[in-house]
A and B are shown apart, each in its own frame.
Chain A
């Protein structure tokens, strides 16, 4: 059973360009989460999605950032008009948890390291 897949692993963009990060959850998982990690810091929650629905986007910047998890295909985190401050590692995680399940073990992908020049 393949784990969480993310691509690309490394992405370099110039200021003003768009970045698209893709995440395929573990087989059978319908809950996807995106986190951002700056160097030497912890992971910060960005957005939580289930198939075709955004459940919680309270951690997403209001502008330039968007996420989707279509019925078919991977989840996409899209950053428009990137700025240097967007440089970070972006991790996707997935879980199997049903409503009310408390353990909620999340399985993380290898991350996409975005560098904005």
Chain B
């Protein structure tokens, strides 16, 4: 089976940097994705790592180490609007397109 582990909650100060970790177990690996979801809203795609290393998209970066089965999402220059839940996700271990999501990390940004 597949499993993803993330911290359940993280609190950080506006303007700071925060890192949200994700470790995964899956027999077939096809990359790690990150999604953001505000309360009552729909998940929105943030980032994808298919290969080891860092992917940068503005204030958000994502990192993957396949040998460690580990990735993280890095949020810089935190803003109040970044308060949301962040989910890591992998594709089904068979290679099918459907996603398997972690339980999510609730980020609270405080002034």
Contacts and interface: CB of A to CB of B under 8 A. Distances in A.
A45 interface: yes
Contacts of B102: 42
A43 B101 contact: yes
B100 A31 contact: no
A106 interface: yes
Contact of B99 (A33, A102, A109): A33
Interface in A87-117: 91, 93, 95, 97, 102-111
Interface residues of A, number: 26
A69 interface: no
B42 to A, nearest CB: 4
Interface stretch (B11-19, B56-64, B69-77, B89-97): B89-97
A91 B87 CA distance: 15
Contacts of B97: 31, 33, 48, 55, 95, 97, 104
B98 A45 contact: yes
B100 A106 contact: no
A91 B100 contact: no
A116 to B, nearest CB: 19
Given A41-B103, A42-B103, A108-B42, A102 B30 contact: yes
A18 interface: no
A45 B43 CA distance: 13
Contacts of A103: 31, 33, 48, 50
Interface of A: 31, 33, 35, 41-45, 48, 55-56, 59, 91, 93, 95, 97, 102-111
Interface of B: 30-31, 33, 41-45, 48, 50, 87, 91-92, 96-104
Given A95-B97, A105-B33, 14 more contacts: A31-B97, A41-B103, A43-B87, A43-B99, A45-B99, A45-B100, A91-B42, A102-B31, A103-B31, A103-B48, A104-B33, A105-B45, A106-B99, A110-B42
6 contacts: A43-B87, A56-B92, A102-B30, A103-B31, A106-B45, A106-B99
